Structure 1
Amino acid sequence: MIRLPEPRSLTVRSADGAELHAEVYGPEGAPAVVLAHGWTCSTGFWAEQIRALAADHRVVAYDQRGHGRSPVPASGGYSTTALADDLEAVLAAALGPGERAVVAGHSMGGMTIMAAAGRPGFVRHAAAVLLCSTGPSRLTSEATVVPLGPGGLRTRLTGAVLGSKAPLGPVNGLSKRILKYATMGPGAAPDRVEACARIVHACPRPSRHGWSQVLAGLDLEANVRELRVPAAVLVGTADRLTPPVHARGLAEALPHCTGLTELAGMGHMTPVEAPEAVTAQIRELTLTYLGVKEAGA
């Protein structure tokens, strides 16, 4: 288990009154990094990045609504508008006036960044972004979790699997094998599979289902063209949930893409599967757009 420094907890109130749990690590006044996790995850998903960055950055990680320590929203609280509202609220609460940050989003966290692209609060505070293992649309039709060729049947089955209301059950050998197949690369280490399984299985069932419905109908293509800050794109070549076709499309459509990184053999859970590579991307962005050097350099 990764030992992290003691965080400073922050409760953020979003536009609709929803409360979000956020954690702040690192020294006050240090350059800021804001981390937005994906569907069924929590702040713990970023443990490796927090550990590596907190020495010389102020790292803000928050639980998306209905995940971790952020309460499950009411039935109408699931939307891309809510995701954008929440990110704007976190940026306003965690950053000072005029302060800018590198914002990194994994999966639904990347979609959150896209949803917020044109928001004044996002534009004011985002210096650069990392879009990690994510996509703007066609999520069920492009996913390869169901081992069939492209087409209507695969899309329908994928929607049924990802949108299931069934409980995930306990973390055991079978559930870890299923999660590894669906979300991680074939070479993922057992301890990293275990870590991801415990995070995913802790997600409340109503939230898992509520957000699955939003993702099934996602269309943020227009938002991508509005994301005018420098943006790095990263994906694993073995990602079954948001395959590289999404990352390549993002790299072409973004107004200011700084580069596309494809990690050989890695699946969807890149911050856990390849933590050094993800952290390196964040550091490169902070160095370039916030002027931050690595501790001890």
Structure 2
Amino acid sequence: MLTKTIQTSIQALAGAPNGALTAAYRAGLRSRAYRTAALNAPTTPHQVVPVTTVDGARLRVHSYGPADGDVIVLIHGWSCCLEYWNPQINAFAENHRVVVYDQRGHGSSEPGRTLPSRETLADDLAAVLDATLHPGQRAVLVGHSMGGITVQAWAARYPEQVRRRAAAVMLVNTSSGGIRYDTDLLPLLNKPLTVGDKPVTVLGASIRVPIIFAETLLTSPLPLPGGWPVNFLLKARVMSKHATADQVDFALGIVRSCRPLARGRHAAMLANLELGDAAKYLTVPTTVIAGEHDHLLPKRMSRRIADILREAGNLASYRVWPTGHLTNIEAADYFNAELARVVQRAGGHATYAAG
């Protein structure tokens, strides 16, 4: 009920202005220059692929690299955009065809007429695959966070497409549901307040922060500020202590570039989303990667997906790395090496530029 109320409120704001975040300013946040070369905009030319969703939204879809190269499709997560994958585009685009797209409402993609749901996630990915893959061609699909949710939702909605469109899958820092109650992003989220290791009680009952406050914060369609306090919080709660200043700045620029309305709408959807055992429909070798210090979607969420895949006989590997939620940014070299192995095992020619 809470999520439906929030979604209704957000929908009512659809025609409202996005404050100071103009389209040009958001684009600038996505295309800053960094000392870390891998984070910068790719120098490899790209092709713009026209894609329109079933409800009429035009998606921004880019294809990098040789037209006849092995295909890698990268699907970003909540509040991000295709630039989020710069470390992977820069590493693979010279020898592979790398397809990236902005999920609806994110980046420069239109929001469409339909509120986001597991169905829109699945339908949009299906539309991108239809537009970018030739008949008989298969890709390695890589989904991070909400992108991993997207891949699972697509497999459950279109099981007949999985073996036809996918050679292998990577699910990174993701979940199959239960996010509202199982996230550790906010330390006090619906958990007892403690002093030391003892819960604070009043009349024998532990004090908890009402979940409505946390959910309102995450779903609020308001612009995100910049500055060192936000950088500090992003590194402490979303990334890990090993993240570099460039990595934190890059990630914050990506997230701040997201339209507040899209961020709020998708957060409200994700809070209530349940995919159950949708991963069992991923009937191709699937690698699951989790972050040891991931507070947003803790490793136990990935473990549940890995267990479903193992039972179905399709788990290629399950790995936990010493990163936060943004594994492909925080440990780009390790991630790219793993992706190269996945491509090679899928029958492709894995060649990438090490950072």
Which category describes the TM-score, using the shorter chain as reference length? over 0.9
Paired residue for 1:246? 301
Paired residue for 1:224? 279
Alignment partners' CA distance in 2, 1:258 and 1:225: 13
Alignment partners' CA distance in 1, 2:161 and 2:59: 17
Matched, 1:234 2:289: yes
Paired residue for 1:138? 178
Alignment partners' CA distance in 1, 2:235 and 2:298: 15
Alignment partners' CA distance in 2, 1:42 and 1:269: 13
Structure 1 residue 159: Cα displacement: 2.4
Structure 1 residue 295: Cα displacement: 5.7
Paired residue for 1:263? 321
Cα gap change, 1:155 to 1:53, in 2 (>3 Å)? farther
Alignment partners' CA distance in 2, 1:155 and 1:218: 20
Letter in 2 for 1:67: H
8 Å contact from structure 1 (residues 141, 154) kept in 2: no
Structure 1 residue 66: Cα displacement: 0.5
Matched, 1:45 2:84: yes
Alignment partners' CA distance in 2, 1:3 and 1:85: 28
Structure 1 residue 236: Cα displacement: 1.1
Alignment partners' CA distance in 2, 1:155 and 1:13: 40
Within the candidate set 180, 196, 202, 2:251 is matched to 196
Paired residue for 1:13? 52
Paired residue for 2:220? 164
Alignment partners' CA distance in 2, 1:126 and 1:31: 12
Task: Describe the SS at the equivalent of 1:8.
Answer: strand
Which string of whole-angstrom CA distances, capped at 9 and with x for unpartnered residues, describes residues 239-277 of structure 1?
Answer: 01100101111111112111111111x110111111112
Alignment partners' CA distance in 1, 2:188 and 2:127: 41
Alignment partners' CA distance in 1, 2:109 and 2:133: 20
Letter in 1 for 2:321: L
Which string of whole-angstrom CA distances, capped at 9 and with x for unpartnered residues, describes residues 60-103 of structure 1?
Answer: 000000111101333x3311100000100111100100100000
Alignment partners' CA distance in 2, 1:177 and 1:278: 24
8 Å contact from structure 1 (residues 91, 121) kept in 2: no
Structure 1 residue 155: Cα displacement: 7.4
Letter in 1 for 2:142: A
Cα gap change, 1:270 to 1:208, in 2 (>3 Å)? same
Task: Describe the SS at the equivalent of 1:77.
Answer: coil
Cα gap change, 1:139 to 1:241, in 2 (>3 Å)? same
| Number of aligned residues | 293
Alignment partners' CA distance in 2, 1:295 and 1:82: 32
Please, what TM-score do these two structures have when normalized by structure 1? 0.93
Matched, 1:185 2:240: yes
Paired residue for 2:22? none
Alignment partners' CA distance in 2, 1:155 and 1:6: 49
Paired residue for 1:31? 70
Percent identity over the alignment is 34
8 Å contact from structure 1 (residues 72, 204) kept in 2: no
Letter in 2 for 1:291: G
Cα gap change, 1:231 to 1:35, in 2 (>3 Å)? same
Paired residue for 1:104? 142
Paired residue for 1:86? 124
Please, what TM-score do these two structures have when normalized by structure 2? 0.79
Task: Describe the SS at the equivalent of 2:155.
Answer: coil
RMSD: 1.8
8 Å contact from structure 1 (residues 101, 290) kept in 2: no
Task: Describe the SS at the equivalent of 1:60.
Answer: strand
Task: Describe the SS at the equivalent of 1:221.
Answer: coil
Cα gap change, 1:189 to 1:139, in 2 (>3 Å)? same
Cα gap change, 1:155 to 1:215, in 2 (>3 Å)? farther
Within the candidate set 52, 56, 60, 2:95 is matched to 56
Task: Describe the SS at the equivalent of 2:288.
Answer: strand
Cα gap change, 1:105 to 1:154, in 2 (>3 Å)? farther
